[in-house]
Amino acid sequence: MRIPALLAAGLLAAFVAPAAAQEHVHQERAAYQDPWIKGTPTDPSEEWLIAFGGRMYDQWAEILDQNLPARTHVSYPKGGPAKGADTWRCVECHGWDYKGADGAFKTGPHATGIKGISGMASADPEAVVAILRNATHRYTPDVMPDAAARRLGLFVSKGQVDTARFIDPATARFKGDPARGKAMFQNLCATCHGYDGKAQNFGSSSAPSYVGTVAVEDPARLLHKIRSGRPGEAMPANIWMEPETLANLGAYAQTLDTK
C-alpha cells in the first residue's frame, strides 16, 4: 500500500524536526558557552583569575588560542621523555601535584628531574611572572601576554594545594567520603560525564579513558581539572570549593568504571 504524499511528509517531519531542533540547541549552547570559555568577566573575582591560571598551567596555548611551539623547549632536559610541543606545557615538567621531581613525576614517563612549583606558593605573583620571562622559561610577552602571565602567576601563588593532604601518596587513593562525593557527581558532573562517568572518552575507542580512569591512574590530575576546569571546554572550575569537598568527589570517581 502506498502512503499518501502528505502523510509521508508528516512522518518525515516527525523524525527530522527533533534532530534539527536538537542541532539548534547545540548551536545555541555553544554560542552562550563561548564567552565563558574564551571571554573574561567585566569584574572577575580572584577565584576566576586563579582558575584561569590553573587552566594555563595545564594548557596555556589552548587558553590563548595559540599553537604550542613545535620545537622542543631549549631548557627541557636532553634525553627527556617528551618531545616537541608538550615540552612547553607547565605541567609536563612540574607535575599535576606541583612537586615535580619530588612528587609523582619523580619516576615514570614524565620524569625529568625538574623541581616543582610548590616552593613558589604564596610568592608575589609578579615574581612568578619574572621567572616565566627569564632565560630558562622564555615565555616572552609575544608568546604569553602580560595579563595571561599574571593569571598564571596568581595560580602558582594562591591556587596550589598540597595534594598529599587529599590523596594518599602511597595508595593514590583520595582521602574522602565516596558517599558524599556520589551526591555531588550525580547532581553536577553527570550533566556532562553521565551517571556512569563514561559519556566522555578522553582516550580512544581502543584505549578509552573516562573520569574513573583518570581518577584511579592519575588522581592529582583529576583534582587539578576539577578545581580549574578543562582548557577550551565548558567544564566548571570549582576552585572556590573547599578541597576536602572535592576529595569526596574524587573518592567517588575512583569507584567508577575505568574501561
Residue labelled with grid coordinates 549552547:
29
In 10 A of CB 242, how many CB atoms? 9
HSE of 179, CA atoms in CB hemisphere, 13 A: 0
User: 51-64 burial, b if ≥16 CB within 10 A, otherwise e?
Assistant: bbbbbbbbbbbbbe
In the chain, what is the greatest distance between 2 CA atoms, to the nearest angstrom?
80
- Length of the chain in residues, anyone? 259
Identify the segments of the chain with pLDDT beneath 70. 1-30
pTM, entire model: 0.88
